[in-house]
Amino acid sequence: MFSTAHNLFQMKNALFVCSLILLVSCGQNENKENQMRRQIDSLRQNLDNTYKPGLGEFMSGIQVHHAKLWYAGINSNWKLADFEINEIIEALDDIKKYNADRAEVKSIGMIYPAIDSLNASIKKHDQEQFKAGFQILTNICNNCHRATAHEFNVIKVPETPPFSNQEFKPQ
């Protein structure tokens, strides 16, 4: 037979062991939480350090597609023209996505009416409308450059094909 005092002692012991287990498991949870937090912090740091193209790089890409678009259009290569104008549209989408922190991007909306009308001329295979639309698009490029204090970046209708290693005539 155990005495009441002995029972009490055992109960206290059991309680002590229980709270110890609780403490240890709480500590483990806290460790896990800290671990997670550290992982999130390092992921965030990785994201901040991820390379993302700047506005100037997107613009240089647009410059190439602008020139190719002209030679596609004046050669009535409508499939290529359609491809090139879509490359410009994609670059504009990327600018809005990746360069949203640049104040200049707020002016980007001015370009869409010119893109839409040029797109319509491509769909209609209308070279006269294409040439007029291309000049308007080019003027808008410069309007935006002026609006964003980059008036020294002057875009014009190209005078020579941008690349000798690409065929602009339809095959």
Residues engaged in binding ligand HEC (CB under 6 A): 55-56, 59-60, 62-63, 66, 88, 104-105, 107-108, 111, 137, 141, 144-145, 148, 150, 153, 155
Q: How far is the CB of 144 from ligand HEC (least distance, A)?
A: 3
Q: How far is the CB of 164 from ligand HEC (least distance, A)?
A: 20
Residue 153 near residue 55 (C-beta atoms within 8 A): no
Query: Residue 62, CB half-sphere, CA atoms under 13 Å: how many?
Result: 22
Residue with tokens 């009535």, as numbered in its chain:
76
Q: How far is the CB of 57 from ligand HEC (least distance, A)?
A: 7
Q: Please say which residue, 77 or 111, places its beta carbon nearer to ligand HEC.
A: 111
Q: Which residue is nearest to ligand HEC (CB)?
A: 56
Residue 71 near residue 159 (C-beta atoms within 8 A): no
Structure tokens that stand for 153 in this block: 């970046």
Rounded distance between C-alpha atoms, residue 76 and residue 128, angstroms: 11
Q: Please say which residue, 59 or 80, places its beta carbon nearer to ligand HEC.
A: 59
- Please tell me what DSSP assigns to residue 108: G
